[in-house]
C-alpha cells in the first residue's frame, strides 16, 4: 500500500518505525504522519502526491535488492499496463540515484550507485542486525541496499520532496520494507538521538556551510562504538587545504568546501572520532554519472571542460570522491 494513500493516523512509514519496537524512535513518528505531509508546500509536492495516488496496485512476483533493484517482472503486467506505468514513473523525473527495474521497466538513473556500493560494501562493519541512519538518502537506493545487507531498520533523511516522492513510488510496490524515509534534513532530526549503529553521509558534506557542524551532528546520532561512513568530493592537497569555489563547482552552486583527504581526516579527528581510515579514492567517470532517459538534464559531461576533462568548466580539479570510515568512542 502506498504510504500516501492511507489517510489513517498511522501511515505505512509509521508502522515500519513502530514495528522496530524501540521507544527512542517515537520522536520520528510525526515526520511521516499525515498532518505533517499535508503541510509540506515545497516544490511540486502536491502534484507528485496526485501521481502517487494514481499508481496502480500491481503485485511483484519477485523482489531483488541487488545492483539493479528489481521489483516485479515484465510478465507480471500486460503490455498496456507496462506502457502506462512507464509514463507514470517518468512523472517523477529526474531519477538521479539507481538503477531500478520495475516490472521490466528499466529506470536508468543518472548515477550508477551500484558502483559506489561495490567500493564499500565489503569494507564497512557488517550491517546485519544494525539500526542505520542514511543522511541525504535521495530516493532510497542506498537505504534499500542497506536493508538487503541485513540492517534491522534503515532511517533515511531526504528533504528534497522530488526524491522523497520517488521513494514513496518504490515503496508502493514493495511488499515488505525495513527502510523508511523522513522528509527532513539532518538538522531537524530530534536530538539527542545517539542510538544508530551505523551512520552514512554520502555526497552531503560539501553542500554544508559548516562541515564541522555536520560531522558533530553525525557523531551525535551514533551510539558509542558506532561507525560513520563518510563519502565526499575531494581535491589533492595537504592537511588543512580545502577548495572553496568562488561561485560554482562542476556547475553546482551549493558547494561550499571541497577538502583534501588529509583535511577530512583532520576534521573527523578534531570532532572526536577515532579509528579514522580511508577506504577508497576514485575519479568520477562518465560510466558512473551521465545523462539518461530518466535524467535528461545536464550531468557530468557538461560539467567538465571538453578539451581537458581533468578540469571542471570553472577551472577546478574534476570531481574525485573518497570514502572514509571513523568510529565514535
pLDDT band at 123 (very low <50, low <70, confident <90, very high): very high
Of all residues in the chain, what percent carry a pLDDT higher than 90? Answer: 92
Distance separating alpha carbons of residues 171 and 10, to the nearest angstrom = 16
Reported CATH class of domain 12-327: alpha beta
Q: Contact at 8 Å (CB) between 319 and 300?
A: yes
Q: List the chain domain ranges.
A: 12-327
pLDDT tens digits, residue range 104-116?
999 999 999 999 9
Query: Which pLDDT score is estimated for 175?
Result: 83
Helix residue ranges, H only, the chain: 12-19, 34-38, 45-53, 79-90, 113-120, 141-148, 161-173, 211-221, 261-270, 300-303
Distance separating alpha carbons of residues 93 and 138, to the nearest angstrom = 13
310 pLDDT higher than 90: yes
Whole-angstrom CA distances from 148 to 17, 69, 213 are 17, 10, 31
6 pLDDT higher than 60: no
pLDDT tens digits, residue range 160-198?
999 999 999 999 999 889 999 999 999 999 988 999 999
Distance separating alpha carbons of residues 71 and 167, to the nearest angstrom = 13
Instruction: List the grid coordinates of 253.
Output: 552552486
pLDDT band at 43 (very low <50, low <70, confident <90, very high): confident
Start-to-end C-alpha separation, the chain? 41
Query: Which residues make Cβ contacts (< 8 Å) with residue 179, sequence separation at least 6?
Result: 16, 140, 143, 144, 146, 147, 151, 153, 154, 155, 156
Task: Using alpha carbons only, give the angle 313, 259, 243 rounded to the nearest 5 degrees.
Answer: 45
Query: Which residues make Cβ contacts (< 8 Å) with residue 235, sequence separation at least 6?
Result: 241, 242, 243, 258, 259, 260, 316, 317, 320
Beta pairing, strands 222-234 & 320-327: antiparallel
Min mean pLDDT across 40-44, 159-163, 216-220 is at: 40-44
| pTM for the whole structure | 0.95
Query: Which pLDDT score is estimated for 2?
Result: 46
Query: Which pLDDT score is estimated for 10?
Result: 39
Q: Contact at 8 Å (CB) between 160 and 96?
A: no
pLDDT band at 11 (very low <50, low <70, confident <90, very high): confident
58 pLDDT higher than 90: yes
pLDDT tens digits, residue range 254-270?
999 999 999 999 999 99
Amino acid at each position: 500500500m502506498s504510504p500516501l494513500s492511507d489517510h489513517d493516523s498511522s501511515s505505512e512509514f509509521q508502522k515500519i518505525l513502530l514495528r522496530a519496537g524501540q521507544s527512542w524512535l517515537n520522536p520520528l513518528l510525526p515526520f511521516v504522519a499525515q498532518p505533517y505531509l499535508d503541510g509540506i508546500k515545497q516544490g511540486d509536492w502536491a502534484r507528485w502526491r496526485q501521481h502517487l495516488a494514481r499508481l496502480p496496485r500491481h503485485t511483484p512476483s519477485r523482489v531483488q535488492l541487488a545492483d539493479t533493484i528489481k521489483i516485479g517482472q515484465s510478465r507480471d503486467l500486460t503490455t498496456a499496463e507496462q506502457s502506462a506505468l512507464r509514463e507514470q514513473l517518468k512523472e517523477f523525473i529526474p531519477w538521479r540515484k539507481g538503477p531500478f527495474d520495475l516490472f521490466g521497466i528499466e529506470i536508468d538513473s543518472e548515477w550508477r550507485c551500484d558502483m559506489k556500493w561495490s567500493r564499500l560494501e565489503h569494507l564497512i562493519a557488517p550491517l546485519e542486525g544494525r539500526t542505520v541512519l542514511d543522511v541525504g538518502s535521495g530516493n532510497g537506493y542506498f537505504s534499500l541496499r542497506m536493508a538487503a545487507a541485513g540492517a534491522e531498520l534503515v532511517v533515511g533523511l531526504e528533504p528534497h520532496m522530488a526524491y522523497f516522492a520517488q521513494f514513496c513510488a518504490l515503496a508502493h510496490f514493495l511488499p515488505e520494507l525495513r527502510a523508511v524515509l523522513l522528509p527532513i534534513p539532518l538538522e531537524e532530526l530530534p536530538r539527542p538521538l545517539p542510538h544508530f549503529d551505523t551512520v552514512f553521509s554520502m555526497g552531503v558534506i560539501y553542500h554544508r556551510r559548516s562541515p564541522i557542524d555536520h560531522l558533530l551532528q553525525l557523531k551525535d546520532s551514533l551510539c558509542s562504538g558506532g561507525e560513520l561512513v563518510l563519502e565526499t568530493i575531494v581535491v589533492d592537497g595537504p592537511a588543512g587545504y580545502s577548495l572553496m569555489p568562488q561561485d560554482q563547482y562542476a556547475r553546482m552552486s551549493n558547494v561550499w568546501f571541497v577538502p583534501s583527504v588529509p583535511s577530512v581526516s583532520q576534521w573527523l579527528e578534531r570532532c572526536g572520532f577515532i579509528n579514522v581510515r580511508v577506504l577508497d579514492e576514485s575519479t568520477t567517470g562518465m560510466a558512473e554519472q551521465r545523462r539518461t532517459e530518466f535524467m535528461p538534464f545536464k550531468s557530468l559531461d557538461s560539467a567538465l571542460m571538453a578539451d581537458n576533462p581533468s578540469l571542471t568548466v570553472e577551472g577546478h580539479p574534476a570531481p574525485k570522491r573518497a570514502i572514509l570510515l571513523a568510529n565514535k568512542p
